[in-house]
Structure 1
Amino acid sequence: MKKSMKALLLAAMTVTALAGCSSKPADPTTAATEAVTTTAADSAADTAADTTAAEGADAEDGKSYTIGIGQFAEHGSLDNCREGFLQGLADEGIIEGQNLTILYENAQADGGTASQIINNFISKKADLICAIATPIAQAAYGGAKKDNVPVIYTAVTDPVAAALANEDGTPVGEVTGTSDKLPVEKQLEMIRKILPDAKKIGILYSTSEVNSETAIAEYKAAAPDYGFEIVEGAVTSTADIPLAADSILEKVDCLNNLTDNTVVSSLPMILDKASKKNIPVFGSEVEQVKIGCLASMGLDYVDLGIQTGKMAAKVLKGEKKASEMNFEVIEEAAFYGNSKVADNLGITLPQELTDSAAAVFDEITQ
């Protein structure tokens, strides 16, 4: 017997039993019909109440929004971007749980998964897509432009090289956002102050990330001015990193980490290998210094995310189209150091750097 028929019979039997207390027998068919009618009325009332509640939630500014947040990989700087993005939206009155629904997915550094995530956001009628890191930003624009869904990206090192912006900074379509372009010369100057005798800097990077290829080219061009040679270690996936790390550590005086998502995902392992050889690793942002890099002239990715969220708010509110806003670059870079790592390596961080530091950490967090 089907479940719905069982429910009808149970309702009829209940009414019949109650009718036994009266002077007139109850009709089971009528009782069942009345039970169904009552259930339907209750359901309609619940639906009306839900609708009224939803309308009340939207009533403050008359609109509610759905944003798909696609993050390319799992690591601290990108997590900070996401946190800052939501804060930037909230600062503009677009608040998750009130007038904002967030769809969040992480590609775990897989390009194919990134494309699937974007297609999912589009199928769920997202009003806007936030793409965190270059590979998923490229997937987002490629997947969303046919449906005219605006894309706001963050943590994209070189939007021009990623084909997300024109040479003059203007968008190539309904896509814009913020760049985490590295302060290469400031980083090299810092490394020279900390390691006055170093000659070779090793950099691991993924050949599938255009952001890393751009950064490598800039480092190679600037390094001779500071008396350095750049030694590259190219990988195609995380599986390549252990052997690549072992190889490059035999050739260099230190490692310098980029914002390469594939490499950053394996940073704890790289740090462990470097520590065993007493070779310092320099980071590109604060989270990398917290977990064991010696120092960085880095960016604050929460601030970068806030900047991105405010751009997204303008698009959602109809104040500007994504295609009307050039991408933005966060200007500030600050010194972050880790005195615990310095002690482990037998290195003294120069006072001129620590005196002006945004933060100096005295422990290694994992």
Structure 2
Amino acid sequence: MKNNMVKKLLTLALAGAMTLSLAACGSKSDDSSNDAQQGGDESGKTYKVAIIKQLDHASLDEIANAVAAELDKIAADNGVTIEYDITSGQNDQTILKQLSDQAIADQVDAIIPIATTAAQISALSAEDTKTPVVYAAVSDPEAASLTGIDYVTGTSDALNTSFIMDMMFAQNPDVAKVGLLYSLSEPNSTKPIADAKAYLDTKGIEYVEQTANTNDEVVAAASALIADGVDAVFTPTDNVIMAAELAIYEDLAKAGIPHYTGADSFVRNGAYATCGVNYTDLGAKTADLAYSAITDGMDGMEDYYLMDGGIITVNTDTAAAMSLDYSCFDSMGTVVEVTTTKD
């Protein structure tokens, strides 16, 4: 089974599957904690970890920073030294392979890839050495063929699309046309978009799709949705759109079109609202898992750990610009208010 999974992983990676993952509401919670406190006396030892981001943007940066902070804490708490480097694959599979191959050559004790393609390629690089690969923020590990591999585990942030759509209609029960904005280069967007369509079909609501694979295309797609007169826009955990959010949020807000998304990083960059996991918690959990994998081995570890969601994030700047009262979300979960940042 493991060999079949690795062969399938190779096929997916080489086919150019740029499956990136952000954060979103999950349906199953992970109650494990204090993973980093397991294991025996490791005092005085030194470990090396490679942290490899799929690309640079707010979501993945937050996760990487949280991983690094937790590794520092683990080192201090356990009297060990943890050396780590944070690198970025710049959304390029060739660079990602170079980075993960170099990590193996450097004999790191674990690789922490952030996002799906980074995880897939890191798993391939580690196939011979069985170096632990503990990924962060893969929304669908099974579809990405990252299960059934004994040296691979990590954190998942599966999206609860129906809940986000419920938020959209709680805010405006009269929504008649919804824009679906996403990238065809991200298989992780496939299921949430299909779920959104099914949800809207059930309600008899019209929807318009716009896809994009570059920043310029995202701007053009957003303009097309505005011209189409949509009442709201939905984007899943899509890194291509996330990377361009700062370029589109003002136009959407000026048009009075709230943008509902799959991660709080969108909202911090100007989108209206989301429901998802806390990225800092996800990064810390991933670091804990990595330390456990290094010190205790991976026997008994799960294929992946699904992070609990339920945090509603609203951009108050965007809400004010559109004169939206978001108190309708109070009964749906914990509401966190943020303002627009350029990070």
Superposition TM-score, scaled by structure 1 size: 0.74
Q: Does 1:204 align with 2:181?
A: yes
Cα pair distance change 1:208/1:319, threshold 3 Å? same
d(CA) in 2 for partners of 1:186, 1:227: 17
Q: Does 1:99 find its partner at 2:84? A: no
1:245 alignment partner, SS class: helix
d(CA) in 1 for partners of 2:79, 2:62: 20
SS state at 2:237 partner: coil
Pair 1:302–1:226, CA change in 2 (3 A): farther
Question: How far apart are 1:232 and its partner, in Å?
Answer: 2.6
Q: Which of residues 320, 325, 336 in structure 2 aligns to 1:359?
A: 336
What is the aligned length?
301
**Equivalent pair of 1:82/1:132 in contact (CA under 8 Å):** yes
Query: Contact conserved, 1:158 with 1:181, CA < 8 A, in 2?
Result: yes
The alpha-carbon deviation at position 346 of structure 1 amounts to: 2.4
Structural mapping, 1:263-274, within 5 Å: 263-274=241-252
Deviations 1:92-129 (A, max 9, x none): 44779951111211122233322222122222222111
Residue 201 of structure 2: aligned partner = 224
Give the SS at the match of 2:117: helix
RMSD of aligned alpha carbons: 2.6
Q: Which runs of 4+ in 1 moved over 6 A?
A: 94-97
Q: Partners in 1 of 2:175 and 2:52 — Cα distance?
A: 39
Asked if structure 2 preserves the Cα contact closer than 8 Å seen for 1:336 and 1:358, the reply is yes
Select which of 321, 331, 334 maps to 1:344: 321
Deviation sequence 1:11-57 (CA, Å, 0-9, x none)? xxxxxxxxxxxxxxxxxxxxxxxxxxxxxxxxxxxxxxxxxxxxxxx
SS of 1:358's partner is strand
**Residue from 122, 128, 142 that aligns with 2:110:** 128
The whole-number CA distance in structure 1 between the counterparts of 2:329 and 2:44 is: 53
How far apart, in 2, do the equivalents of 1:266 and 1:131 lie? 22
2:305 is aligned, of 317, 320, 328, to: 328
1:274-285 residue pairs with structure 2 within 5 A? 274-285=252-263
Corresponding residue for residue 112 of structure 1? 94
* Cα distance change, pair 173–60 in 1 and its aligned pair in 2 (3 A): closer
Give the superposition deviation at 1:162.
0.8
Partner amino acid, structure 1, of 2:243: S
Residue 37 of structure 1: aligned partner: none
Question: Which residue identity does 2:68 align to in structure 1?
Answer: L
Give the letter aligned to residue 299 of structure 1: V
Equivalent position of 1:146 in the other structure: 128
- Structure 1 spans left out of the alignment, 5+ residues: 1-58, 166-170
Query: Residues 292 and 237 (structure 1 numbering): CA distance in 2 closer, same or farther, change over 3 Å?
Result: closer
User: Does residue 1:183 correspond to 2:165, yes or no?
Assistant: no
Paired AA for residue 100 in structure 1: I
Pairing 1:302–2:280 present: yes
Cα separation, 1, equivalents of 2:119 and 2:77: 23
C-alpha deviation, 1:64, in angstroms: 1.1
* SS at structure 1 position matched to 2:87: strand
Identical-residue share of aligned pairs (%): 28
Contact 1:133 1:153 in 2 (8 A): yes
In structure 2, the CA distance between the partners of 1:91 and 1:206, relative to structure 1 (3 Å rule), is same
| Structure 2 gap segments, 5+ residues each | 1-40
Alignment-mate amino acid for residue 226 of structure 2: L
Counterpart of 1:126 in 2: which secondary structure? coil
Q: How many Å separate the matches in 2 of 1:338 and 1:180?
A: 21
* Distance change >3 Å, CA 265–CA 288, structure 1 → 2: same
TM-score by structure 2 length? 0.79
Q: Give secondary structure in 1 for the equivalent of 2:188.
A: helix
Could you tell me whether the CA contact under 8 Å between 2:43 and 2:80 is conserved in 1? no
